[in-house]
Amino acid sequence: MPLREIQIAPGFNKQITPTGAAGRWIDGDNVRFRYGFPEKIGGWSQITGNSTIGVARDIHIWTDIRGRRYVAFGTNKGLFLYFDGALYDISPLETAITGATFSSSNGSPSVTVNKSAHGLAVGDLFTFTSVTLPGGGATGYSVADFTTNAFEVTTVPNNNAFTVTMASNETGTGMSTAGGATINPYVKVGGIGQTAGFGYGVGEWGGTISPLVLTTLNGALSDNEFGTGGSGTTITLTDSTGFASAGKILVGGELITYTSIIGNVLQGIVRGTNGTTRIAHDSGASVQDASNYVSWGESVSSSELTLDPGNWSLDNFGQKLVATIHNDRTFSWSPITLNSDALITRATIVSGAPTKSSMSIVSERDRHLIHLGTNTDISDGNTQNLMFIRFSDQEDFSTYTPTSTNTAGTFQLDSGSRIIGAAKAKDYILVLTDTSAYRMQFVGPPFTFSITQVGSNCGLIAEHAVVYANGACFWMGRSGGFYMYDGTVKKIPCSVEDFVFTTKDTTDLGINLSASDTVYAQYNSLFSEINWFYPKSGSSQIDRSVTLNYQEGVWTTGSLARTIYHDKTVFDNPIAGEFDLTAIPTFPTIQGVTNTNGATTLYFHEIGTDEVDDQGNVTTVIGSIQSGDFELPIDGTLGQVFTKIRRFVPDFRALTGNAQVTINLRDFPNDTEVSSTLGPFTVDSSTKKIDTRSRARAVNFDLRNTASGETWRFGTFRADIQPDGQR
């Protein structure tokens, strides 16, 4: 029989069944399409030997007037810089807390820091300055042991003390509320992930808990419905002083209710309430009285609110980095006086700027710093209006009060409940609320900016889920689907929409809407791609991606998980960050560091074929793709006869190493597909043909590499196909 060419259209189609997707690709991983043909994506290489504390949420790259290149990225624990092959900590610090003392015990590395109303929590970062230590053999520690590195809070017995873990045991007799120090807390950015909220800004920004009572668990909790030690309905605390007689406690991110207290034992506990997730907790874990969370001045007892994850919006105002913490303050860092000390100078608060903004963005052509979802009263964070816009005077990001002699101003949006994000386009800024789209354009005095609504029912899903590329803004919709604005708001046809937004089918890996604020989008100009990285259902962190090739209009999905991504601009390759929830960070050097906050590793992308760490160790990146079923038509109908494949001829436009081809067979749509008897088949650049004994009503094929150093670009699939009976 003559060879037949199986025509397969570019892109994935996951909206229909495999049997219905004849002539389409239905699945794959780590692949892209160019000129209509699939190929494996490029590899990635670790940038430095260090991983940075926390989960990165935004990245920005710029140069100074001398052409020096900077990469700033913000995590939920701080603000960091990559420059000239090294990482630097430029995290801003809160107001110093003076008057702390130390307590320690001989033979133990644990030191208690005594300070009333310190306000720190487990996992918080800080530095010590102005340290004095007692003499007389009370301690074997030196001042440098406290002042050389940052510290992570180990435990919080109560609000008047917390503990840290030193690098070595105490060799003296021990300090007893002795010595002195100043505590310099890192500015709190927010949580690792998006969680159910039980009050406005519960946990790390805004809101109140009244009273603030802290203690620790006296015994571990397992991941079950029981109490201390994995049994019963009671939880033992180290100290229950000040806790409500009945109410709820917060342990990590889990809320637990209780009906009464006897001594230090909570009675009648119910785990994982108010929409929180039940997890295991170690003995000594911090416990907080959560009985009196308040929201917008009112008590909230259900998970009708959510807590946004710690987030940043980063931009540059000329040479200066501008960094705004989500629903918090704005900071700046300047490289203009770069010398041996400048790279360890921390970002400082922008004087005169609003004290609470959802995000900020620079209007580059006219040089205004724009704050979105910000204060109506500049200095009063309690007046934050999530639909309010305030912009600075031109060329001066510290002046915001409008006068007749400047171009500062304000604007109130009215379609939606909050501004979600914004993107800079060619000559305008697209501002997106939870329901609508606005075009913000500089028009000069006296109005400075023109703001016009250009779309409705097209809200943005997350602050960083919008990007400008190829003359248009693209974004992921809050209620599903993808949109673009090129002068008109349009919904983009998407052949993987159900797969991304629903879990109707058990094979769908739909987005976890409870963690949707973590979605991150960025384009890859090397291949005309826009990537949206998102957490799938059941995941609290990003672990999936969906990609649009905007030149060819085709979609792919994959497992590439990046919490930040930046296109190649001043560097030759894209830069991205991968988060590991269980990793112990190595940067900055933090005394007593644990995996409480996880760690982010930076990579250069589109390098080689695989993942390569800083030591040269290689992890294989497997690129795979699968076709839909194809059947032989007889008298205009499909599925009437069996299809027999005697041989196929591999056709690769490029192939390095080997590729594995599997012929999958099934007789009916609901059957589980199985490989043909002789498969899978290994193909290399010298393979002429493959003989196979494949027989079924429906046939598809799977193509992939299986080892490191391999890459491929597929051409066509040609096979000797013939009908072979109806039984």
In the chain the domains, ranked by start, together with CATH numbers, are: 3-42+629-723 (2.60.120), 97-185 (2.40.30.20), 205-260 (no CATH)
Length of the chain: 727
Q: What local confidence, expressed as pLDDT, does residue 21 receive?
A: 85
Mean pLDDT of all residues in the chain?
90
Q: What percentage of the chain exceeds 70 in pLDDT?
A: 92
> Is the predicted pLDDT of residue 306 greater than 70, yes or no?
no
Q: What is the rounded average pLDDT of the residues 669-693?
A: 89
Q: What local confidence, expressed as pLDDT, does residue 727 receive?
A: 56
Cα 217 to its chain centre, rounded Å, is 30
- Mean pLDDT is lowest, of 262-266, 460-464, 659-663, 671-675, for 671-675
The Cα–Cα gap between 171 and 165 comes to: 14
> Is the predicted pLDDT of residue 557 greater than 70, yes or no?
yes
The Cα–Cα gap between 298 and 294 comes to: 5
Q: What local confidence, expressed as pLDDT, does residue 305 receive?
A: 46
The Cα–Cα gap between 44 and 524 comes to: 14
Tokens of 122: 């487990």
Band (382; pLDDT cuts 50, 70, 90): confident
Q: What local confidence, expressed as pLDDT, does residue 639 receive?
A: 55
Name the amino acid, one letter, at 23: G
> Is the predicted pLDDT of residue 302 greater than 50, yes or no?
no
- DSSP-based helix, strand, coil % in the chain, nearest 5: 5, 45, 50
pTM of the model: 0.86
Burial of residue 57 (number of CB atoms within 10 Å: 0-12, 13-18, 19+):
buried
- Mean pLDDT is lowest, of 194-198, 315-319, 574-578, 646-650, for 194-198
Q: What local confidence, expressed as pLDDT, does residue 381 receive?
A: 84
Spatial neighbors of 462 by CB under 8 A, at least 6 apart, are 420, 421, 476, 516, 517, 518, 519, 520
Q: What local confidence, expressed as pLDDT, does residue 6 receive?
A: 81
> Is the predicted pLDDT of residue 461 greater than 50, yes or no?
yes
DSSP letters spanning 575-620: EEEEEETTPPP-BS-EET--STT-EEEEEEES-SSSEE-TT--EEP
Band (65; pLDDT cuts 50, 70, 90): confident
Under 8 Å between Cβ of 37 and 53: no
> Is the predicted pLDDT of residue 632 greater than 70, yes or no?
no
Q: Which of 431, 414, 315 is nearest to 362 (CA)?
A: 315
Q: What local confidence, expressed as pLDDT, does residue 640 receive?
A: 62
Under 8 Å between Cβ of 187 and 193: no
Tokens of 621: 């990146």
What digits encode the pLDDT tens for the residues 308-365?
A: 899 999 999 999 999 999 999 999 999 866 555 667 799 999 999 999 999 999 998 8
